[in-house]
Amino acid sequence: MTSEQKKVDRNFIIDNLDKYILDSRDNFYSFDLEMDGDERCYIGKDRVDGLGSVMDLFFLRDFEKLYKEKDKWKVVNPSGLDCLFEYENIVSGERKKWYELGEELSYILTGELGYRKSSWDNYDEVKVKNEEILQKYKKNREKIKQEREQRQEQEKLNQEKQRLKQEQEKITQKEEKDRLEKQQQELEKREKELEEEEQNENPNSIILKKFSSIPNFNTKEKIEALIEPVKNNPNFLQQLKANNIQNNYR
């Protein structure tokens, strides 16, 4: 998997944070019905760029959820080991495992819920340090939030640039179409003018075309010299009709 593909999966998880949970091996699962059948229902940790900072988002999210209602949660330790805590909601019975909060934030929550054994016997003395830890997680969240906003803004800019490019292409295509149509109209107009010119040609020009292939009769002057003696003879056309000659050269 390329680094670019890992960034895509990272961004998808960040954009859909509330649809995912972390498992004990730091993989991302979604139980959202809208994602049923989507290949991203499960995203392995090896597919996520900047895995640590993304995991910290989940740790802080779950920590704040429990801390906000800490009067409804209690520490349970079914294994008998301090490092394997669970948290139980005394109203609903819901349980959360320590690894869903990460090691640092689970330590803080356990102390905030009143546990004072083993590593928590001096918890009240290290509250300043715990606050520094919380601020670290919050700064990470704020940084990712800003990155997300910048990314979304860039995506909007890219979409707008693409839209403008398509609009420009449409304009260019229309201009080219209009130019070609104008040329076609000009050609058709000129063709019509030529037809009209041919229809309106004077008789001498028509006669010249008819005799253009005959030697000694292929210039205007020669044709005019030929027809000059008879052009004013009123009986000439009647003689042609009588001899069926009138249309031979049309």
102-112 and 51-68 helices, crossing angle to 10°: 10
Q: Considering only CA atoms, which of 50, 55, 20 is closest in space to residue 34?
A: 20
| Higher pLDDT, residue 247 or 102 | 102
What per-residue string of b and e applies to 194-232 under the rule 16 or more CB within 10 Å gives b? eeeeeeeeeeeeebbeebeeeeeeeeeeebeeeeeeeee
Q: What is the Cβ-side half-sphere exposure of residue 218, based on CA atoms within 13 angstroms?
A: 5
Is the pLDDT at 149 greater than 60? The verdict is: yes
Q: How far is CA 226 from CA 90, 216, 219, 223, 249, in A?
A: 127, 11, 11, 5, 15
| Higher pLDDT, residue 190 or 59 | 59
| Higher pLDDT, residue 46 or 175 | 46
Q: Considering only CA atoms, which of 98, 48, 50 is closest in space to residue 73?
A: 98
Q: Considering only CA atoms, which of 143, 139, 138, 58 is closest in space to residue 106?
A: 58
Over the stretch 62-81, which tens digit does the pLDDT of each residue have?
A: 999 999 999 999 999 766 66
- Output the average pLDDT for the chain: 83
**Could you tell me the pLDDT band of residue 133, with boundaries at 50, 70 and 90?**
very high
Is the pLDDT at 144 greater than 80? The verdict is: yes
Amino acid residing at 127:
K
Is the pLDDT at 181 greater than 50? The verdict is: yes
Q: Which of 7-21, 84-98, 222-236 has the lowest mean pLDDT?
A: 222-236
